[in-house]
Amino acid sequence: MSNDREKLTTGSGMPVDDDQNSATAGPDGPVLMQDVHLTEKLAHFDRERIPERVVHAKGAGAHGFFEVSADVTEYTRASFLSEVGKRTDVFVRFSTVGGEKGSADSERDPRGFAVKFYTEEGNYDLVGNNTPVFFIRDPLKFPDFIHTQKRDPASNLKDPDMFWDFLSLTPESLHQVTILFSDRGTPRTYRNMNGYSSHTYMWYNESGDYVWVQYHFKTEQGIENFTGEEADEMRGTDPDHATRDLYEAIEQGDFPSWRLEMQIMTPEEAESYRFDPFDITKVWPHEDFPPIEIGRMVLNRNPENYFAEVEQAAFAPANLVPGIGPSPDKMLQGRLFSYPDTQRHRLGPNYHLLPINAPKCPMHSYQRDGAMRHDDNDGGGPNYWPNSFGGPGPDPSYAVPAIDVAGMAARHAYELADVDFVQPGNLYRDVMTDQDRENLVSNIVDHLSGAQQRLQLRQCALFYKADEDYGTRVAEGLGLDLEEVAGLAEMSQEDRVSATSA
């Protein structure tokens, strides 16, 4: 063996003499406890896996940059957006949502689209999806929703009954269901899809004036999707096709890029707008809020180590920077808690110190200790605030603008349920082509045919409420009684549910 390689060592740095033969008592004898290189190697292997992400487990990531192309300083003081031409390093992770870490990239599922901007005022994470809306608007429903997309507790199989039972009991999901079962639910690659913030965020400027915004990353590779059939075939042929596509494109110098477009709404417009601008099941129609191009993102470097950079990447919508704040969107409020919480569970309380997650600007806090605190733990300085010994202090000039909220503290039910059918209807009628509608109906029929008939009826009534043609075609595909579907569509959700009870 050549002598010019680096020495193999144990974790403590002791050189290893032999990595092929365990130390034994005699050539055929039992293995000796004193072979600490062996025991360390086995023990570390036993601990290689960390908890899988409960959602977004299967993913691929890449490094790149974001470059500003328009002056947005009237809207935000965010330093990374402060100058046309300014570049900021990013790390992006794309993912499927419901499947396990080994699941197929071509599954029908929303795709995660998470961007970490390493700005000079802290890391900014925009943790979006390839869809502009979401299934539910209240975080209290999230764990239940995800359970229905995963596996049956008894059979450990995916279950169309669970899937459609929950969705048909949750009519606000119809908009996202319509996108999910269109061919946009099976993007051809991660490069051929858009990314949306889905949530509304606040942008505020140096004077403390604020606007509400939504982000749209538009693919410069063009939207391309699989049909349901093509996606099924790809699942069997190459379950990792989107991971492979991203890695290979970047290796070959074919760097994928996205334009960033923003929709901007003033607080006055928000007050009187016909849709709740903070309801994540709705979009802001482009006609009312035309998107403005403000920058471009390019991915130009593959990770060198998947585990270190992609598996350990921890995104959280709570990672905001001065100039960008949260909105009252209830799902966003839930995610502000849940994302950092799940990262603490998955990676430990000091996950933010891992190289892929660490900010590239100075970081000082009074959080100390905890498992795997592998830096200097902020040395010998004071570990409490306030202090008289020169420890870091807060700066009131970074306060997020105050917003006026009022009302009774209670569990408020959503009261405009019929509005939930407007946008899916518009999408079906006005945006989709004939081919899109045909594929949508066929994709739904394929999946919904696996559920009990009463669930088919309840769900079809929702499609019918969004658009008669939509509901009729799905009902026909399933061989349902059209009059029954139309009758159920006339009912309140409460009556519809009792009419379709077992």
| Catalytic residue set | 56, 129
Q: Closer CB to ligand NDP, residue 439 or residue 459? A: 439
Contact status, residue 493 vs residue 171, Cβ threshold 8 Å = yes
Contact status, residue 351 vs residue 367, Cβ threshold 8 Å = no
User: How near is the Cβ of 216 to ligand NDP at its closest, in Å?
Assistant: 6
**28's tokens:** 């055929």
User: How near is the Cβ of 138 to ligand NDP at its closest, in Å?
Assistant: 20
Contact status, residue 185 vs residue 472, Cβ threshold 8 Å = no
Q: Closer CB to ligand NDP, residue 64 or residue 187? A: 187
Q: Closer CB to ligand NDP, residue 300 or residue 426? A: 426
User: How near is the Cβ of 436 to ligand NDP at its closest, in Å?
Assistant: 5
Strand partners, 96: 111
Q: Closer CB to ligand NDP, residue 127 or residue 283? A: 283
Contact status, residue 31 vs residue 24, Cβ threshold 8 Å = yes
Residue 243, exposed/middle/buried by CB under 10 A (0-12, 13-18, 19+)?
buried
Q: Closer CB to ligand NDP, residue 212 or residue 351? A: 212
Residues in the chain: 502
Q: Closer CB to ligand NDP, residue 77 or residue 218? A: 218
Q: How far is CA 391 from the centre of its chain?
A: 36
User: How near is the Cβ of 429 to ligand NDP at its closest, in Å?
Assistant: 9
User: How near is the Cβ of 422 to ligand NDP at its closest, in Å?
Assistant: 8
Residue 299, helix vs strand vs coil: strand
**DSSP codes of every residue in 184-245:** GGSBS-STTS-EE--S-EEEE-TTS-EEEEEEEEEESS---B--HHHHHHHHHH-TTHHHHH
Neighbours of 106 (CB within 10 A): 25
User: How near is the Cβ of 321 to ligand NDP at its closest, in Å?
Assistant: 24
Of all helices (H) and strands (E), which one includes residue 324?
strand 324-325
State the residues that interact with ligand NDP by CB under 6 A: 132, 179, 182, 184, 194, 218, 223, 283-287, 423, 426-427, 431-432, 436
Residue 343, exposed/middle/buried by CB under 10 A (0-12, 13-18, 19+)?
buried
What counts of helices (H) and strands (E) characterise the chain?
15, 10
d(CA 103, CA 110): 14
